[in-house]
Structure 1
Amino acid sequence: MLALASGLIALRYLPSIPAFEWVLLVLVAGLLLLSMRVYPVGLFLLGLCWACVQGQSALDDRLSPALDGRTLWVEGRVVGLPQQADGVVRFEVRDAYSRHGPLPNTLRLGWYGGPSVNSGERWRLAVTLKRPKGLLNPQGFDYQAWLLAKRIGATGTIKDGQLLAPARYAWRDGVRQQLLRSDANGRAPWLAALVMGDGSGLSTEDWKLLQATGTVHLLVISGQHIGLFAGLIYGLVAMLARYGLWPRRLPWLPWACGLAFAAALGYGLLAGFEVPVQRACVMLGLVLIWRLRFRHMGPWLPFLLALNAVLIVEPLASLRPGFWLSFAAVAVLIFTFSARLGPWSWQAAWLRPQGLIALGLFPMLWILGLPISLSGPLANLVAVPWISVLVLPAALLGTLMLPVPWLGQGLLWLAGGLLNGLIAGLELLAGMLSPWLPATVPTSLWMLSALGALILLLPAGMVLRPLGWPLVLLAVFAPRTLIPYGQVEVLQLDVGQGLAIILRTRHHTLLYDAGPKVRDFDQGQRVVVPALQSMGVATLDVMLLSHADSDHAGGAQAVDQSMKVKRVVSGDVPLLPEILEAQPCINGERWEWDGVAFSLWQWSGATDGNQRSCVLQVDASGERLLLTGDIDIEAERALLDSPLAVATHWLQAPHHGSRTSSSMAFLKRLSPSAVLISRGHGNAFGHPHPQVLARYAALGMTILDSAERGAIRFRLGAFGAAQSQRDQRRFWRD
């Protein structure tokens, strides 16, 4: 079973899906090895073969390149629960049809300012469709992998729409609407998340609170909720049997297992039966079968059966972080609770699991690039029983009793009040301890730290246990890569249509622009802050905002709130929030860090924000980088009369490569070897302009485009080549 699971999981590490002939050869080899009773290798190959078939099937279901970026009339049925936040309605459409050609089976669409959309409705929509694409940054969320794992073949923005047919059999949406209209002490959106798995009603601040306290799993339908509800039913039958109240003609154990599984399926249907719920139901079913017939074979049997069952049904599940976290949590509990010489007291059984799970999941969160909640063990110590024993039963019973208004509404009001008490405690904890994102380290150091966590999970008295803590603490005191004197590590982040570049010398860090903020999408919070933390940066010496446009300065407040910023400089101070306490860009200012020279320039004759961009030149051992913000041709002409108009090796494309920038005179004077373009894929501005790209090509410049290559990193002063995030090939990345 381990070999089969390994073959299925190996899919996520493939740079590309092998051709059909190679997959067929792997299948034949696997069957031949099985016939020779070489079971581990044979099952590994069969698992890999099945995973490749499913992976290729998902790739083939993506939008045709010929339709990428086109606006089409599409007909389809709304599935799942539509989400509405900040004036945007987001939902999925299945069985979509267009006369222009075949479409993927599932589309994920957004409708800005759109009307209310309900599950089960059939719509005719004018949609600008795009192939799955996402930002790609070190330790960042891989949106493209997430879309593939959900088998979403295209995303799109709706321009117009017509309702063709009302919803049919959309009972889940009806229940959700009743929940959201209920008087639940102001916590109706939280109850909708808890009961239905619909977190669209939670605000950004709500999610930040849950992440900071490590309690996101409590508001997302997970194995814990499914297991708890099934456990309540199982425990009720067992209690009735113990006190002689269960009918003697009915054997209590099979009935307890059957009713518990039926309850889990019912809860799963209410929650939409998404992949995490399916995974939980499969695991629960196997555990109940093990309890009935195979208990003598140990608890690892149902675990491995569930692992393989989930991967066989959906091999792409391994692309989602939730898959790793849920199975890792169960594995930690099995490892720590089984094979003990004696039972724990009830106090230990309550106190120890949260600490052990936090310790056991720490390496997994670290390698996945997810923040680690320092207050999580303490928060879950109270939150888990509070939700499990008090809030969830009241919320579920209240939902079932909604046809009896006074009873259902009363129970929901009680559940909301209990949530208010819990949330007050979580806010207190979140204010005391912020989440921690360990710095990225070599794989060898991570493996040593993970080994330390495993050693600490061993029973007390084991000889090796004292070695655990020093190994785990490698995460805290991991040796930081020292940048040589006279060099700068440059990282242009992939922030979409915006700009954010991190420059790090041996002892100093500068951030040039902070990424865009559009509605609730703050790339400063989502991309820039995690990138800085993964580099081990706790303090910014300078945050230089070229100008005040939201695509350059939108994420500045998030950065300022998340870490200490010693100095903020901008070319457009009056238009920035006062809380940033920005200082004006001083033309001609120079300073030196660790043998690296920094120089500022701003056009005194600027008439708009773009022209006022604060330009930064970095000189490391004679290799130069010029960061230009959004200056246009007129500002470029003025810059040619400044001391910065010298040979430059690396150039950040002015104004994302717009038609009004990158003049031939400017490019010839600087004669850069490479140009950095930061822009959003398929952006509405048409950046970079074809004429500008032609100029770059005519001068033999290497084009490093974030939309095509993701985050781009190079070492200024080392005279080496740049590396991009997309150089790390994965089969789902174009």
Structure 2
Amino acid sequence: MRQFYSLDLLAIMFSLGCLPLLFLPYLLSDWQWYGIAVILIILMLVVPSKLYCFLSIFVVFGLGFLWSTACSKQYLSSISPYIDKSLVVKAKIVNINTRQTATVVDPYYLSFSVFSVSEVMLSNNIPISVYWDKPDIPKSGQIWQLTLKTKVVHSYLNEGGFDSQRFSIANRSLLSAKLVDAKLLDSKSDLRQSIVDLALPYIDLFDYRGILLALAFGDRSQLDDSHRIVMKQTGVAHLMAISGMHILVVFGLSCFMVKVLLFFIPKRFIYFFVPIVIGWLCVLFYAWLTGFNPPTLRAILALSIWIYLRYTKHHISAWQKVNRIIALLLLFDPLMILSESFWLSCYAVISLIFLFDWLPLPKALKNKKRWYVLRLLHLQFGLTLLLLPIQFLVFQGVSSVSILTNLIAIPVISLFTFPSVLLALIFSVINCFSIALWFWLIADKSLQWLFFSLKWLNWLWLNIPSDFYWLSLLGWLGVVIMRTGLWHHFSITLLVIFAILVTPFFKQQHYCWRLDMLDIGHGLAIVIHDGKSAILYDTGANWEKSSAMERVIIPFLQWHNLNVQGIIISHQHNDHVGGLELLKSLYPKAWLMSSSYDLNNDYPCLAGNHIIWNDLTFNVLWPNKLVEYAQNEDSCVIQVTDGHFSVLLTGDLERNQEYQLITKYRDQLASTILQIPHHGSSTSSSYAFLNHVKPVKSLASTSRYNPWKLPSNKVIKRYQDLHLDYYVTARTGQISLFFNKHTWKLKNMRGEIKPRWYHDWFGSLPIYE
């Protein structure tokens, strides 16, 4: 037992050694890495043998740290030479094709594995995601020659927003490219594509085509948006992503079918491990069919380790198995620790073990089949409570009906839909038309019934502000208190803990007011707030399938629990007004100000008008008249002031209007902070205007890869010539200004708010390319 205990302790220390990868502001340099390695070696040589036990713990922690940082640097160094380049490559398609039309209406991303660059063979293939906008429909296994303009995934960095850089590094998909030209070299597709081609004629017949593709082949690209929303808001989205549950269903179903077949085989040919081996091979085949995505790989590795431990008669607890599996997973790929799906999987398994160890059902109920529903309720309710911390952290909210919807969805998916999909795949491949169609129909009808139930039960999604995350620990505390009876002897301590958890209700802001320029790519969205209510200046762009409002602004508002009381629109170009309708639908009581009489303003944006909000005054400086459709020159220019500090918001103001403002206001234009006009276009930010505003800091909102090359070199030179500090969201991420009565300070996401190595500026191109 002592040996096993030591092994488990070492596994824990190795996992903890990988944990700093989440928080490091930068990766170790080569000399730092080798320095730590030398120190560990010296310690092993000079420390007395009596201290070897303690030393081994320290060394394994150090090895975990060195291994995780080395793998991270190795991945970045393998793709860094190819970022922001024009390349001619030969690559093999990784994606299966689930599109059967002759022409593709919407461009999409395809995953390639590059094995040759400029006719030079690579020692290791490089994964790359290519934006495919050609009419050709590539198929898995084909080899293409591609002319690419490469770039790197560059995340919008905002509080409460999705971190695409971290996600891409965790999945080793940081490198992407725009397609310039493509030439097919080998049209032969692989076995995966052949299986897909046999199943697609069936799947295309059904309404829930996107979900059937997700369950059969792991392709979630064609999920219907309405289905995505319903699944997220009811807390069942995890059931449609291939993960541990699906792997276990495949394993269990395969073992069961093999055991049935063994009844017809002579006993001398039957071995107890045959169902296990065949089941494992079936799991491996299914994982290959779905593309070996990271959650599937983790599940297979975990299942393999479990089978090994189970059948080598290692009598260890569930905690020990999970501990060792996590350590081996991180040894296999330490970048997993950046993956939210990895944390969700591990956390869910740990919660299950904790629930059954600390809050088991009474034995009288455990062994009675008629109490199945009660056992299921115990499991689902307990899991919901224990999963709250990870739910709040990853999804910034929780479904109010997730207990009920999962009680319905898990049995339907695991007992009807998914087994039907697997059997339908088998009969589709062997061309049993009627049987295959029957199983696809069962899968589709089960989804139809499930979504009917989910839509009926979709009552409320609860968004949780960041300040209230500590409350999510109440579930864990409740279980511990119930099991240990702590209230008998530590009631005062428990009251103190509870008081700490509810402190967000009484939290005081450390600033009087705050301004955030959000990182939304090309566009503008500025939030002015006091920690409770907010006014927005512009609402970002609306895209084909999403918007900056949906992806960035609303998550930010919910993260800070802000109620929008007012909306100011500078002008009516899409990158400034695109999210207005969605914002108005969420905050119908918010007043509206703009320089267009076509937008049904509550307050017209006319020079000379002003609004007092809390302790701030919003003085309108421009325009002099309202228009039907507001252009750049009609931008609503507002000076926000608290009496000590001021911010000049300019929208996309042009040079001619800058001169008119100088003529009219002169020294009144002086402001502490300037929103750089027109994203740093050379048609704005004249020397005369900057000399009159005299900003201490200037802020511009742009995207890294914008086609207008903003901010322009001419404008940057003007700010440098006048010794004016400027910040660009493409470089810094979200820019936040905190104002008190007599002081103010500036922070940005990449520099001060959340500095992480995976938030670095990868590649060499300047902002505008």
Q: Name the TM-score, length of structure 1 as normaliser.
A: 0.90
Structure 1 counterpart of 2:48:
none
Q: 1:30 to 1:245 in 2, by over 3 A?
A: farther
1:557 corresponds in structure 2 to 581
Question: Aligned with 1:157: secondary structure?
Answer: strand
CA distance, structure 1, for counterparts of residue 198 and residue 726 of structure 2: 50
Match for 2:375 among 330, 336, 349?
A: 349
**C-alpha separation in 2, matches of 1:478 and 1:314:** 38
Distance 1:184 1:351, change over 3 A: farther
- Give the residue type in structure 1 aligned to 2:556: A
1:513 maps to 538
Task: Write the distance in 2 (CA, Å) between the matches of 1:72 and 1:381.
Answer: 51
- 1:293 deviates by 3.7
Going from structure 1 to structure 2, the CA distance change for 1:437 and 1:32 (only over 3 Å counts) comes to farther
- What is the aligned partner in structure 2 of residue 463 from structure 1? 485
1:412: which partner in 2? 440
Report the counterpart of residue 206 of structure 1 in structure 2. 227
Q: Which residue of 2 aligns with 1:597?
A: 617
2:569 pairs with 1:529: no
Alpha-carbon deviation of 1:613? Answer: 1.7
**Contact 1:500–1:513 (8 Å) recurs in 2:** yes
207, 232, 235: which one aligns with 2:253:
232
> For the Cα contact (< 8 Å) 1:179–1:399, is it kept in 2?
no
CA drift of 1:642 comes to 4.4
User: Which structure has greater helix proportion?
Assistant: 2
Q: Does 1:22 align with 2:32?
A: yes
1:679 matched to 2:698? The reply is: no
Quick one: distance in 1 between partners of 2:97 and 2:570? 38
What corresponds to 2:299 in structure 1? 280
Deviation for aligned residue 1:602: 3.2
Q: Who is 1:397 aligned against?
A: 423
Q: Secondary structure at the match of 1:62?
A: helix
Name the residue aligned to 1:12.
22
Change beyond 3 A, Cα 1:110–1:331: same
CA contact (8 A) 2:107 2:132 kept: yes
284-293 vs 142-151, which moves further: 284-293
Change (3 A) 1:482 1:295: same
Cα distance in 1 for residues equivalent to 2:183 and 2:603: 51
Deviation at 1:651, TM superposition (A): 0.6
Give the count of matched residue pairs.
Answer: 718
CA distance in structure 2 between the aligned counterparts of 1:175 and 1:76, rounded to whole angstroms: 21
1:91 Cα shift?
A: 0.8
Asked whether the 8 Å contact 2:192–2:289 carries over to 1, the reply is no
Q: How does 1:620-699 map to 2 (within 5 A)?
A: 620-643=642-665, 645-699=668-722
* Closer/same/farther in 2, CA of residues 298 and 248 from structure 1, 3 Å limit: farther
Contact 1:135/1:495 (<8 A) preserved: yes
Tell me the distance in 2 between the aligned counterparts of 1:239 and 1:259. 13
Query: CA 1:81–1:476 in structure 2 vs 1: closer, same or farther (change >3 Å)?
Result: farther
Alignment of 1:90-169 (within 5 A): 90-99=109-118, 105-112=126-133, 114-169=135-190
Q: Distance in 2 between matches of 1:674 and 1:101?
A: 48
Q: CA distance change for structure 1 residues 227 and 142 in 2, over 3 Å: closer, same or farther?
A: same
Post-superposition CA distance 1:55-78 (Å, at most 9, x none): 1101102233xx654544333222
Whether the aligned pair in 2 keeps the contact of 1:370 and 1:437 (CA below 8 Å) is yes
When the two chains are superposed, the root-mean-square deviation of aligned CA atoms in Å is: 3.1
Q: Which residue of 2 aligns with 1:336?
A: 355
> Whole-Å Cα distance in 2 between the matches of residues 437 and 551 of structure 1?
26
Partner of 2:8: none
Is the contact between residue 626 and residue 652 of structure 1 (CA under 8 Å) also seen in structure 2?
A: yes
- In 1, distance between residues paired with 2:506 and 2:551? 23
SS of the aligned residue for 2:355 comes to helix
Confirm whether residue 45 of structure 1 aligns to residue 66 of structure 2.
Answer: no
Task: Give a deviation string over 1:166-220, Cα, whole Å, max 9, x none.
Answer: 1432424651673365355311221000121100111333222211111111111
Aligned to 2:450: 422
Q: Contact conserved, 1:77 with 1:93, CA < 8 A, in 2?
A: yes
Give unpaired runs (5+ residues) of structure 1. Answer: none
After superposition, the Cα gap between the structure-2 partners of 1:257 and 1:158, relative to the gap in structure 1 and judged at 3 Å, is: same
Which amino acid in 1 is paired with 2:756? Answer: R
How has the CA–CA distance of structure 1 residues 372 and 295 changed in structure 2, closer, same or farther, with 3 Å as cutoff? Answer: farther
Equivalent-residue separation in structure 2 for 1:74 and 1:582 (angstroms): 56
* 1:383 corresponding residue in structure 2: 409
Task: Note the alpha carbon deviations across 1:460-496, whole angstroms, 9 max, x for none.
Answer: 55424899899789878723654478x3211111101
How much identity, in percent, do the aligned residues show?
A: 25
Specify which of 572, 582, 596 is matched with residue 548 of structure 1. Answer: 572
Match of 1:300 in 2: 319
Report if aligned partners of 2:605, 2:623 keep a CA contact under 8 Å in 1: no
Q: 1:420 to 1:614 in 2, by over 3 A?
A: same
Question: Which stretch of the first structure deviates more once superposed, 315-324 or 145-154?
Answer: 145-154
- Does the 8 A contact of 1:513 with 1:552 survive in 2? yes
**Distance (Å, rounded) in 1 between the aligned partners of 2:484 and 2:588:** 43
Q: Take 1:348 and 1:459, find their aligned partners in 2: how far apart are those partners? A: 22
Call closer, same or farther: CA 1:696–1:297 in 2, change over 3 Å. Answer: same
Provide the residue aligned with 1:729 in structure 2: 755
Q: 1:16 to 1:321 in 2, by over 3 A?
A: same
Query: Which of 372, 385, 392 is the matching residue for 2:398?
Result: 372
- Structure 1 CA distance for aligned equivalents of residues 230 and 732 of structure 2: 33
* One-letter identity of the residue aligned with 2:31: E
The one-letter code matched in structure 2 to 1:571 is S
Segments of structure 2 that go 5 or more residues without pairing to the other structure are: 1-10, 46-51, 762-769
8 Å CA contact 1:63–1:131 kept in 2: the answer is no
Q: Tell me, yes or no, if the aligned pair for 2:355 and 2:383 is still in contact at 8 Å.
A: no
Check whether the contact 1:456–1:469 (CA below 8 A) recurs between aligned residues.
no
Structure 1 residues 280, 429: closer, same or farther in 2, change over 3 A?
same
Mark the CA change 1:591 to 1:323 in structure 2 (over 3 Å): closer, same or farther. same
Q: What is the CA distance between 1:240 and its match in structure 2?
A: 9.2
Q: Please identify, of 121-130 and 395-404, the stretch whose mean Cα deviation from structure 2 is larger.
A: 121-130
TM-score, structure 2 normalization: 0.86
2:686, 2:665 → 1: CA distance?
A: 18
Instruction: Return the offset for 1:393.
Output: 0.8
2:76 equivalent to 1:59 = yes
1:98–1:484 CA distance, 2 compared to 1 (3 A): closer
1:461-500 to 2 correspondence within 5 Å?
461-464=483-486, 478-479=504-505, 481-483=507-509, 487-500=512-525
Counterpart Cα distance in 1 of 2:201 and 2:603: 46
8 Å Cα contact 2:98/2:196 also seen in 1: no
Residue type of the alignment partner of 1:668: N
